Amino acid sequence: MTRRFAGWGRGLLTTVGLIGLWWLIAVAFALPPYILPTPPLVAQALWNGRFYLAGHAATTALEIGLGLFFGVLMGASVALAMAASPVVQRWLTPLIVVSQAIPVFALAPILVLWLGFGLASKVMMAVLIIFFPVAATFHDGLRRTEPGWLDLARTMRASRAAELRHIRLMAALPALGSGLRVAAAVAPIGAVIGEWVGAAGGLGYVMLNANARMQTALCFAALFILAVMAVALWQLVDVLLRRILYWVPDAAAARRGPD
């Protein structure tokens, strides 16, 4: 608990320091507000547009949540299929590599063209970004199961399904946890990029319109809300994983606290 509070304290001090540096640069160089607004101007824009921003933040949060759910589901399913069947692995591995060779950002206009300006294209964009880290880390964890455990399972005549469920899956959960943390960090990227390409709502839509109208303070306010949402999502996933994967050394140490 003490370590957790210490981590929050360091994060708070870092944030305050960065805000102070930002304020100092804006004042010292006498930058106009449309170039770099000061923190008070951003706070004012945040308060004046609180209802407007809250509605668009809800849209972005929904896109991020659905993208995270379907991206994790898709990535974990593909990793399990590849681990269960070498034939599936040989067929899917080149497809996964090719899918990552194409910049995901370049697919956003095509997704908007196919799926429209609504929720579906933004969710699919988030799914494409989340899919790879989940599939890659989970499959790597399934492949790197302790050989002695597998030998023991075969000695006891365990079936391939039982071996996968009771040994390889449990051993790979920490790797899946790492993939989930990465997914939580990158999930907002897909949603916002989709909103930039074409949308009728969301924080990315707010930022794009504010930038076109030189409302830089409003753009910063939307960016601040997006950053808070991303940090909160990552923290939520991290706390849940520490509670679920309590046998993992770093999670166990975090639960015990300092010696």
Q: What is the model's pLDDT at position 123?
A: 92
Please list the helix, strand and coil fractions of the chain in percent, rounded to the nearest 5, in that order: 85, 0, 15
Q: What is the model's pLDDT at position 259?
A: 44
Sort 33 into a burial class: Cβ within 10 Å, 0-12 / 13-18 / 19+.
middle
Q: What is the model's pLDDT at position 252?
A: 44
- Count of Cβ atoms closer than 10 Å to residue 16 Cβ: 10
Q: What is the model's pLDDT at position 84?
A: 81
Q: What is the model's pLDDT at position 118?
A: 85
pTM: 0.86
Provide the b/e sequence for 191-221 (b: ≥16 CB within 10 Å): bbbbbbbbbebbbbbbbbebeeeebbbbbbb
Q: What is the model's pLDDT at position 92?
A: 87
Q: What is the model's pLDDT at position 257?
A: 47
Distance CA 116, CA 58 (A): 19
Each of the 259 residues of the chain gets a pLDDT tens digit; together they read: 566 556 667 778 888 899 999 999 999 998 899 999 999 999 999 999 999 999 999 999 999 999 999 999 999 999 999 888 888 888 888 888 777 777 777 888 888 888 888 889 899 999 989 998 999 899 988 888 777 766 667 777 777 677 777 788 888 889 999 999 999 999 998 889 888 887 788 999 999 999 888 999 999 999 999 999 999 999 999 999 988 887 777 644 444 444 4
Q: What is the model's pLDDT at position 138?
A: 92
Q: What is the model's pLDDT at position 24?
A: 93
